[in-house]
A and B are shown apart, each in its own frame.
Chain A
C-alpha cells in the first residue's frame, strides 16, 4: 500500500508543490522522482516476495478506481521511475537557464504521476483517465516553448492524433465493461469470441495511436518541437510506451485475428518507419522514427504470442532511447540545431558524450551483449516459432537490419565532420546520459530473473537465429556507416523521405473531410440565417413598403419571422380599404361562408 502510494503520490506531490511554491523546481522534481523510484523499488521488491498489492477509491457509482500492482505492472512502474529520474537529472542541466523552469518541472512531475497511474491502473476507467492525462501532459510538454513558431501546431497534432486513436480505447472499454459488467481489467480479460475480437481491434487502434504505429506515426516525428528531455521521456518509457503496455497487459485476451492485425501493423511499422529514419535529415526526427520502428518490434512480439519479449524490448528500448535523446540534447545544446548537417562532427567535440551515445546506439542496433540484443533475440525466436504468420520473422529481421543501418548512419555523421570546440562541460546532462547508457548496456543481465518473476520464459529457438540477428545488426551498422542513405535505399529514398505519403493520405482521409464538413456546416448555418433574412426582405419588398417605418429603432431589429409576416399584414391591410361598401361586401361573403359551414358542419358530425 505505502509503496503504491509513494510511487504515485511522490511525483504528483512534487508537481503540485513546484507549481504552488514556484521554488527550486529541479530539486523538488528530482526528489519527487527519486521518492517515486524508491516506491517503485519497494513495490518490485514486494512482488519478488510474491505479495500482491491493490487499492480502491470511490469514483463513479458501481465503478470504483482501483490500483493494482502485479509483477508486470510493478516492473513497468520501476522502469518508468528509473527512466524519469535519469531524465530529470539530465533536465536539471538542460533547463538550467530557462525562465519557465517551474512550469517545465511541474508538468514533468505531473506527467510522470499520470504515467505511473496508467501503469498501475487496475480498472479500465482509471486506465482510460491516465491514458488521456498523459496525452494532455505531453501536449503541454511538447508545446512548452509555445512562443516559437510551429510549436503550437506540433503539440496540437500530437494530441489530436492520439485522441482520435483513443476513440478505439473508449469503445473497447465500453464494450468490455458492458460484457463483463465490471470495470476491473483482470476480470474483463476473460471476454472471448466476437466481443474480444472487436475489443482487441479497437485496443490496437488506440495503441497504434499512442505508440505511433502506422498510420499514425506522423505526430511523433513532429513532436520534436519540445525540449529534448521531454522527447527522451516520451519516447522511452512513457507516452509512446503506453500503447505497447496496453497491448502487453491485454495480450491474454487477444484472439488470433487481433494478433494477426497486431503483427501486420507492427511489422509494417518496423520496416516503414525504419526506412524513414534512414532517410531522415534531422537527428531528433531520426530518433523519433526509430522509436516508432522499435515499437513495431514490440507489436511483432505480441503478435507472436510473446508479450514478455515485447516487455523486455520495451525496457531495453526505454533505457537506450532515453540515453540517445539525452545525447542528442547535448549536441543540440552545442550546435543549437538538430539537423544532421549542422551536427556533423558534434560527437567528436565531446567524446565522452559521444561514447555514451554510441554505446546506446550500438545497443539499439542489437549488438551483444547489450540489452536490446537479448530482447531482439527473444522477438526473433518468438516470431520464428509463431504459427500465426510466416512473415513475422522476416519483417522483424528486416527491421533489425534497418535499425542497425540508421544507427550506423547517425554515428557516422556525428563523428565524421569537423570538431568545433565544445562549450562548457555539462555534468548533469552527462550524468543522466551515462546512467542510462550503462543501463542500456547491462540490463540484459536482468532479463532472465525478470522472466522468471513474470512466470513466462521464452522458449529456445534454433541455433542459427542469434547468428542471423547478429549478422543483421553488424551488416546494418556497416551499411549505414559506409553508404549514404540515398544510395542505400535507391528508388525508395524519395518515398521514405516523405514518409511514403502515409501522413498526407491520413490527413486527406480524416482531417480534410472533417474540416470540409465543418465548413459545410458553417455554410449551412449562414445559409439558414441568410435564407430567413432574405425571405424577410422579399416579404418587405412584396409589401411595397407603403410606409417607411425604418426610422423606428425596432425596424432594424425586427426579426426575420416578423419581416416575412409584414408583407402578409400589408396585403391584409388592403382589405381594409376604408370603403364601407367594399368592406360590407366582404362581410357578406363572410356570412355566406358562415352559412356554408353551419350547414355542412352538422352533416359531418
Chain B
C-alpha cells in the first residue's frame, strides 16, 4: 500500500461524497447532472490511480477510463436533450415541479 494511492483514492472518495450530496440536494436537473459528473470524475480518478499504482502493466484500466469518459459524454448529451424537451414542454427543469406522476 502506498500513500499516493490512498491520497488519490481519498480525494476521489471526497468527490464521490460531494457528488452524492449534489445529486440529492439540487432542485435543478442541470445541477443534478453536475453531481453525477463529479461522481464519475471520482470513478475516473479511482481507475487511473489503480492503474498507476497497482496494475500499470494492464491497459484494461485505461480502457475503462475511456469507457467512463464516453459514458459521461453521452449521458450529458442525452441529459441535455431531455432538459430541452422538458423545458419546451414545461418551461422549467426544476424537479420539484415534476410531480404529475406519482402514487
Contact = CB atoms under 8 A, between A and B. Distances in A.
B42 interface: no
B86 to A, nearest CB: 12
Interface stretch (A106-114, A204-212, A258-266, A577-585): A577-585
A573 interface: yes
A576 interface: yes
Nearest to A585: B24
B98 interface: yes
B99 A578 contact: yes
A588 interface: yes
A577 B96 CA distance: 11
B91 interface: no
B99 A579 contact: yes
Interface string B70-93: 000000000000000000000000
Contact of B95 (A546, A576, A579, A588): A579
B39 to A, nearest CB: 12
B102 A578 contact: yes
B20 interface: yes
Contacts of A578: 98-103
B24 A588 contact: yes
B23 interface: yes
A588 B99 contact: no
Contacts of B100: 578
A581 B95 contact: yes
B48 to A, nearest CB: 25
Interface string A561-591: 0000000000001001111110011001000
A579 B102 CA distance: 8
A576 B103 contact: yes
A578 B98 CA distance: 7
Nearest to B96: A579
A576 B99 CA distance: 10
A577 B99 CA distance: 8
A547 to B, nearest CB: 9
B27 A581 contact: yes
A227 B95 CA distance: 93
Contacts of B20: 588
Contact of B102 (A577, A581, A584, A585): A577
A584 B95 CA distance: 12
Interface residues of A, number: 11
B103 A573 contact: yes
Interface string B4-46: 0000000000000000100111010000000000000000000
B63 to A, nearest CB: 27
Which of B24, B27, B98, B100 is packed against the most chain A CB atoms within 10 Å? B24
Contacts of A577: 99, 102
B100 to A, nearest CB: 7
A546 B96 CA distance: 22
Contacts of A585: 24
Nearest to B25: A581
A588 B17 CA distance: 12
Contacts of B23: 584
A584 B27 CA distance: 12
Interface string A489-520: 00000000000000000000000000000000
A569 to B, nearest CB: 11
Contacts of B25: 581
Contacts of A579: 95-96, 99, 102
A581 B31 CA distance: 12
Contact of A576 (B27, B96, B98, B102): B102
Nearest to B27: A581
B99 A581 contact: no
A581 B103 contact: no
A584 B24 CA distance: 7
A573 to B, nearest CB: 5
Interface string A213-246: 0000000000000000000000000000000000
B41 to A, nearest CB: 19
A579 B25 CA distance: 12
A576 B95 CA distance: 15
A566 to B, nearest CB: 14
B32 to A, nearest CB: 8
A576 B20 CA distance: 21
A546 B103 CA distance: 10
Contacts of A588: 20, 24
Interface string A585-605: 100100000000000000000
Given A585-B24, A588-B20, A588-B24, A580 B102 contact: no
Contacts of B27: 581
Contacts of B102: 576-579
Contacts of A546: 103
A321 to B, nearest CB: 85
B103 A580 contact: no
Given A576-B102, A581-B95, 18 more contacts: A546-B103, A576-B103, A577-B102, A578-B100, A578-B101, A578-B103, A579-B95, A579-B96, A579-B99, A580-B95, A580-B98, A581-B24, A581-B27, A581-B96, A584-B23, A584-B24, A588-B20, A588-B24
Interface of B: 20, 23-25, 27, 95-96, 98-103
20 contacts: A546-B103, A573-B103, A576-B102, A576-B103, A577-B99, A577-B102, A578-B98, A578-B100, A578-B101, A578-B102, A579-B99, A579-B102, A580-B95, A580-B98, A581-B24, A581-B27, A581-B95, A581-B96, A585-B24, A588-B24
- Of all A-B residue pairs in the complex, the 9 with the closest CB atoms, nearest first, are A578-B102, A578-B99, A580-B95, A573-B103, A578-B101, A576-B103, A585-B24, A584-B24, A577-B102
